[in-house]
């Protein structure tokens, strides 16, 4: 979304997934490096430069979600009243991610001398030139390598200026990647500038060919096809994605807009063809978090991909399989066994969390997440299992997923200690609520660890039964002895959960209930995050929770908790949560919706939606909060529609907010494509499921169960929320 010319408020970046560089020196961490700015334009009318920024009259920018294009328009008038209109369209192709296209149409209201310069600006100075681009009709690509030598980048581009089918010659320019034209523009002769760019990223471990060769070949093919056909292929690729993933909401335009904005970014962020990269906390849309990958990907984003684009989900999980060696090394370094994934991960999977940050008042604040925020390992195992359950991708489970689940289970077993009280404990961690560090028995961490250990045992049994050869090979490779599995069972059975049998309340960590209880309503509306307003010390000594922690556990392991326990814990923790992380509101919307508290769910949904669209946290300039966007999808599908995967099909438990008249979306499950339509009028609620593609599956709605055959629809009705669903008579 950066402008064609940089301004103080808009510094262009061209990020390529996986292109990181780590500066040398103590405490240095990897960061995405920016490739060349491929959009740069300079325009002059009669020698006077026209600024292409957002301050000009007649400036408008339109993001076309349907086609995945950005259209920017300027209508300019100089001091002599001469007028010009410039419309720029751009896209990075979803049909071929190596290609980017820019096209600009220039129209004038009177004859005038125009000059146009188009350039590819040099990349980040952490990218060192290997080979310069050549000048000429068939320009050779330029190549760079990252200063740390782990990545390479190649770029090639062609540009042309045309009017009425005729190509205008450019001025001789001896600089590569720079084109200049000057011409007398006429009112009835619009000119069109077009540029095709090919960029190819390679990492040291995957490099077999020169990225320059790949870029050259891609550009040659693209040039033959031309910008219009490239746009058509790109638009078709987007149309396909929208067919698989659009959510329609009627009755609430704000929610509709937020969901399409979310889906647009979620689709943009993933690449099913590259299992070596994952999605950073701001995807590729900004500088914040340096492109690092967190639990956001597995817990907040993966569900969208699992249910609408399984190939993209698989690639993301394969990234975690490729980074398993680094996760093993981290566990060993900290004195444990198995795999402890990096809290912040980049290209290698080595820990990339900064050891400290500079706080608001200039003090050095140590960051302990890189060693202590360990739930990431269980989160990844959880995502592997969800993917496997929803896709039945046995090749993935057998060849990659099982190893992740076993190695993370092994980590939890080594991380838990049996103490005098006869229970296992996990001491000194950070849970999702990062306001409280070094805590014992964090409920989320322990709950997920138990679940991970159980899945470790389940996957071991499954391999033993179904793929005994693979099981023997893995057992040998991992040196898994039978007594180790017996210990997993014991740890899973006796790990502290923090649950109080009488009240059903789960203590977020040992001693949490004894902390000061603060009424957060007294601080509304928040002017900054709670830890900033109240200070880190007071926050640490209080029950203020940064983000869904116990509530997150409810959301992920819903069926493990009886309804009264879900209700009690949500009511306890919700008023104590400060939502200092953008991840929190959408999960609260999901849980509130499942509990049937629709006004609250709607409020949290709107709060999550506003984070990027209204920049309510004041940091959207650092990139979109892609985890929040994944959370919005989950709030709609898992929350308002109440979707859950069952062993033989899908379950729904719809509760629509007051203003929503209808909610429609597609999901995929084990190769089937299902469409869901939930409608609400004053008199009737209707839920309709259609099996569009694939073999039959079972669908559940309250107490109703139906085996849905291909091409068939099944409709149920009820008059109000408190009635049971009834099958519509056929």
Q: Which is nearer to ligand BGC, 185 or 429 (CB)?
A: 429
Q: Are 141 and 176 in contact (CB under 8 A)?
A: no
Reference 148, options 278, 276, 20; nearest CA is: 20
Q: Which of residues 85-114 bind ligand BGC (CB under 6 A)?
A: none
Min CB(280)–ligand BGC separation in Å: 9
Min CB(612)–ligand BGC separation in Å: 13
List Cβ neighbours of 635 (8 Å cut-off, separation of 6 or more): 586, 587, 589, 590, 593, 601, 604, 605, 608
Which window, 256-264, 291-299, 356-364, 637-645, contacts ligand BGC (CB under 6 A)?
A: 291-299
Q: Are 238 and 66 in contact (CB under 8 A)?
A: yes
Min CB(298)–ligand BGC separation in Å: 10
Q: Which is nearer to ligand BGC, 482 or 618 (CB)?
A: 618
Min CB(173)–ligand BGC separation in Å: 44
Reference 14, options 123, 95, 119; nearest CA is: 123
One residue of 181, 261, 264, 295 binding ligand BGC per CB under 6 A: 295
The token pair that represents 334 in the structure block: 């900290």
Min CB(616)–ligand BGC separation in Å: 15
Q: Is 437 a catalytic residue?
A: no
User: Distance from first CA to last CA of the chain, Å, rounded?
Assistant: 51
Binding string to ligand BGC for residues 17 to 56, with x set by CB under 6 A, is what?
A: ----------------------------------------
List Cβ neighbours of 214 (8 Å cut-off, separation of 6 or more): 98, 154, 200, 202
**What residues pair up with 73 in beta bridges, in sequence order?**
60, 87
Min CB(281)–ligand BGC separation in Å: 4
Compute the distance between CA of residue 20 and CA of residue 162 in angstroms, rounded to an integer: 38
# residues near ligand BGC by CB under 6 A: 12
Compute the distance between CA of residue 384 and CA of residue 396 in angstroms, rounded to an integer: 9
Q: Which is nearer to ligand BGC, 543 or 547 (CB)?
A: 547
Which window, 39-47, 287-295, 591-599, 705-713, contacts ligand BGC (CB under 6 A)?
A: 287-295
The residue behind tokens 């600024």 is 51
Which window, 147-155, 290-298, 313-321, 420-428, contacts ligand BGC (CB under 6 A)?
A: 290-298
Q: Which is nearer to ligand BGC, 589 or 656 (CB)?
A: 589
Min CB(66)–ligand BGC separation in Å: 28
Q: Are 353 and 432 in contact (CB under 8 A)?
A: no
Which window, 251-259, 289-297, 353-361, 558-566, contacts ligand BGC (CB under 6 A)?
A: 289-297
Q: Is 174 exposed, middle or buried (0-12, 13-18, 19+ CB in 10 A)?
A: exposed
One residue of 346, 463, 495, 583 binding ligand BGC per CB under 6 A: 583
Kindly report the number of other CB atoms within 10 A of residue 257's CB atom: 14
Q: Which is nearer to ligand BGC, 294 or 396 (CB)?
A: 294
Binding string to ligand BGC for residues 531 to 560, with x set by CB under 6 A, is what?
A: ---------------xx-------------
Residue number, nearest CB to ligand BGC: 294
The token pair that represents 184 in the structure block: 């007398």
DSSP assignment string, 468-515: HHHHHHHHHHHT--HHHHHHHHHHHHHB---B-TTT--B-SSTTGGGS
Kindly report the number of other CB atoms within 10 A of residue 519's CB atom: 9
Which window, 14-22, 28-36, 235-243, 288-296, contacts ligand BGC (CB under 6 A)?
A: 288-296
Q: Helix 584-595 vs helix 626-634: angle between axes, to the nearest 10 degrees?
A: 10
Reference 308, options 637, 1, 678; nearest CA is: 637
The residue behind tokens 């419309």 is 87
The full length of the chain comes to 730
Q: Does 432 bind ligand BGC (CB under 6 A)?
A: yes
Q: Which is nearer to ligand BGC, 14 or 297 (CB)?
A: 297
The residue behind tokens 């149920």 is 716
Q: Which is nearer to ligand BGC, 211 or 627 (CB)?
A: 627
List Cβ neighbours of 13 (8 Å cut-off, separation of 6 or more): 2, 34, 37, 286, 287
Q: Which is nearer to ligand BGC, 153 or 281 (CB)?
A: 281
Min CB(13)–ligand BGC separation in Å: 18
Q: Does 581 bind ligand BGC (CB under 6 A)?
A: yes
Min CB(432)–ligand BGC separation in Å: 6
Q: Are 595 and 572 in contact (CB under 8 A)?
A: no
Reference 273, options 97, 93, 69, 394; nearest CA is: 97
Q: Is 467 exposed, middle or buried (0-12, 13-18, 19+ CB in 10 A)?
A: middle
Helix (H) or strand (E) run with residue 620 in it: none
Beta strands 697-701 and 685-693: pairing type? Answer: unpaired
| b/e code 336-368 from CB counts within 10 Å (16+ = b) | bbbbbbbbbbbbbbbbbbbeeeeeeeeeeeebb
Which window, 166-174, 218-226, 292-300, 517-525, contacts ligand BGC (CB under 6 A)?
A: 292-300
Q: Helix 310-322 vs helix 402-415: angle between axes, to the nearest 10 degrees?
A: 50
Binding string to ligand BGC for residues 177 to 216, with x set by CB under 6 A, is what?
A: ----------------------------------------
List Cβ neighbours of 137 (8 Å cut-off, separation of 6 or more): none
Cis peptide before 667 (omega within 30 of 0): no
Q: Which is nearer to ligand BGC, 281 or 346 (CB)?
A: 281
Q: Which of residues 242-281 bind ligand BGC (CB under 6 A)?
A: 281
Q: Which is nearer to ligand BGC, 72 or 353 (CB)?
A: 353
Q: Which is nearer to ligand BGC, 74 or 435 (CB)?
A: 435
Residue 187 C-alpha from the chain's centroid: 46
Min CB(504)–ligand BGC separation in Å: 26
Active-site choice (407, 434, 437, 496): 434
Measured in degrees and rounded to the nearest 5, phi and psi for residue 210 equal -75, 125
Q: Which is nearer to ligand BGC, 289 or 640 (CB)?
A: 289
Q: Which is nearer to ligand BGC, 373 or 403 (CB)?
A: 373
One residue of 4, 124, 252, 296 binding ligand BGC per CB under 6 A: 296
The residue behind tokens 């940089």 is 6
Helix (H) or strand (E) run with residue 190 in it: none
Min CB(455)–ligand BGC separation in Å: 22
Longest Cα pair distance anywhere in the chain, in angstroms? 90
User: Which residues are near ligand BGC by CB under 6 A?
Assistant: 281, 289, 294-296, 432, 434, 546-547, 581, 583, 627
Catalytic residues, by residue number, are 434
């Amino acid at each position: 979304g950066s402008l064609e010319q940089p301004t103080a408020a808009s510094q262009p970046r061209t990020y390529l997934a996986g292109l990181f560089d780590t500066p040398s020196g103590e405490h240095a961490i990897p960061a995405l490096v920016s490739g060349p700015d491929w959009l740069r334009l300079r325009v002059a009318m009669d020698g006077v430069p026209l600024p292409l920024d957002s301050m000009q009259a007649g400036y408008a920018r339109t993001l076309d979600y349907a086609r995945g294009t950005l259209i920017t328009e300027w209508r300019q008038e100089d001091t002599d009243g001469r007028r010009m209109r410039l419309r720029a369209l751009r896209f990075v192709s979803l049909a071929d991610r190596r290609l980017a296209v820019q096209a600009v149409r220039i129209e004038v209201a009177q004859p005038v001398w125009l000059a146009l310069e188009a350039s590819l600006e040099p990349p980040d100075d952490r990218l060192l030139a290997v080979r310069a681009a050549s000048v000429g009709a068939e320009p050779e690509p330029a190549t760079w390598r990252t200063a740390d030598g782990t990545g390479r980048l190649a770029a090639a581009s062609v540009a042309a200026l045309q009017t009425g089918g005729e190509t205008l010659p450019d001025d001789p320019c001896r600089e590569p990647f720079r084109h200049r034209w000057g011409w007398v523009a006429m009112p009835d002769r619009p000119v069109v500038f077009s540029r095709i760019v090919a960029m190819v990223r390679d990492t040291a471990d995957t490099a077999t060919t020169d990225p320059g060769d790949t870029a050259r070949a891609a550009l040659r093919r693209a040039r033959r096809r031309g910008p219009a056909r490239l746009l058509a292929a790109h638009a078709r690729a987007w149309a396909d994605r929208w067919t698989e993933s659009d959510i329609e909401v009627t009755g609430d335009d704000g929610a509709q807009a937020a969901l399409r904005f979310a889906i647009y970014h979620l689709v943009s962020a993933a690449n099913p063809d590259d299992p070596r990269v994952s999605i950073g906390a701001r995807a590729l849309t900004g500088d914040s978090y340096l492109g690092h990958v967190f639990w956001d990907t597995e817990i907040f984003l993966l569900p969208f991909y699992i249910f609408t684009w399984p190939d993209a989900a698989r690639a993301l999980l394969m990234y975690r399989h490729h980074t398993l060696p680094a996760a093993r090394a981290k566990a060993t370094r900290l004195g444990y066994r198995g795999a402890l994934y990096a809290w912040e991960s980049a290209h290698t999977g080595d820990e990339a969390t900064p050891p400290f940050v500079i706080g608001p008042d200039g003090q050095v604040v140590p960051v302990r997440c890189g060693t202590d925020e360990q739930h990431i390992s269980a989160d990844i195992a959880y995502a592997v299992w969800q993917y496997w359950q929803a896709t039945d991708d046995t090749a993935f489970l057998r060849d990659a997923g099982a190893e992740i689940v076993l190695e993370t289970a092994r980590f939890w077993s080594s991380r838990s200690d049996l103490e005098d009280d006869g229970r296992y404990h996990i001491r000194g961690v950070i849970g999702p609520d990062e306001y409280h560090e070094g805590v014992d028995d964090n409920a989320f961490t322990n709950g997920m660890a138990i679940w991970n250990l159980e899945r470790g045992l389940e996957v071991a049994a499954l391999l033993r039964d179904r793929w005994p050869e693979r099981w023997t090979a893995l057992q040998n490779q991992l040196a898994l002895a039978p007594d180790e599995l017996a210990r997993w069972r014991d740890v899973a059975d006796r790990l502290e959960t923090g649950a109080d049998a009488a009240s059903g309340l789960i203590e977020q960590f040992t001693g949490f209930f004894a902390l000061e209880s603060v009424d957060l309503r007294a601080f509304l509306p928040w002017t900054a995050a709670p830890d900033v307003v109240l200070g880190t010390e007071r926050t640490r000594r209080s029950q203020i929770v940064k983000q869904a922690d116990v509530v997150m556990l409810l959301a992920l392991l819903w069926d493990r908790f009886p309804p009264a326990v879900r209700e009690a814990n949500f009511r306890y923790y919700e008023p104590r949560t400060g939502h200092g992380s953008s991840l929190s509101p959408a999960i609260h919307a999901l849980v509130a919706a499942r509990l049937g508290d629709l006004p609250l769910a709607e409020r949290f949904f709107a709060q999550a939606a506003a984070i990027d669209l209204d920049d309510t946290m004041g940091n959207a300039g650092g990139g979109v909060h892609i985890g929040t966007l994944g959370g919005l999808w989950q709030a709609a599908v898992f929350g308002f529609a109440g979707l859950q995967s069952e062993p033989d099909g899908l379950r729904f438990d719809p509760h629509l907010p007051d203003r929503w008249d209808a909610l429609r979306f597609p999901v995929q499950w084990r190769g089937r494509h299902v469409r869901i339509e939930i409608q609400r009028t004053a008199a009737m609620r209707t839920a309709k499921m259609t099996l569009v593609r694939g073999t039959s599956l079972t669908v559940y709605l309250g107490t109703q169960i139906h085996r849905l055959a291909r091409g068939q629809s099944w409709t149920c009705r009820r008059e109000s929320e408190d009635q049971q669903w009834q099958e519509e008579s056929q």
